[in-house]
Structure 1
Amino acid sequence: MSCPICNEKTVQKYRPFCSKRCADIDLGRWIKGDYAIPADDPESLEEAASKLQSNPPIRH
């Protein structure tokens, strides 16, 4: 198996990475949101807020 960051051979201690450095690079990418998956649903926050303002939920 090769490291997903640098393609070097993985090391058991840091698997699936080859080193702490590559593991930290991956963590940084997660924190920055680089691995976010774009989605069409739910709608944008602005659209959802607008719909709620014009059509508030019924409370019993």
Structure 2
Amino acid sequence: LVWNSVRMPGGDCIGIFWPDVITIPVQGRHYSYHWDGSRVDFVRQHDTGKVLAVT
């Protein structure tokens, strides 16, 4: 079951009704987003401390 996302124009949502259709989710990386008052100006990756520029 797939439908258009109402939160993300152009995005899709999916409904899975049987447990073996997809694999178990795996925790991914954690990020902090820095808001400068008008936009996100950089992102920090928590596990490495690496700062990623936002263009």
- TM class by shorter-chain length? under 0.3
Kindly name which structure, 1 or 2, has the bigger radius of gyration based on alpha carbons. 1
**1 or 2, which has the higher helix percentage?**
1
**1 or 2, which has the higher strand percentage?**
2
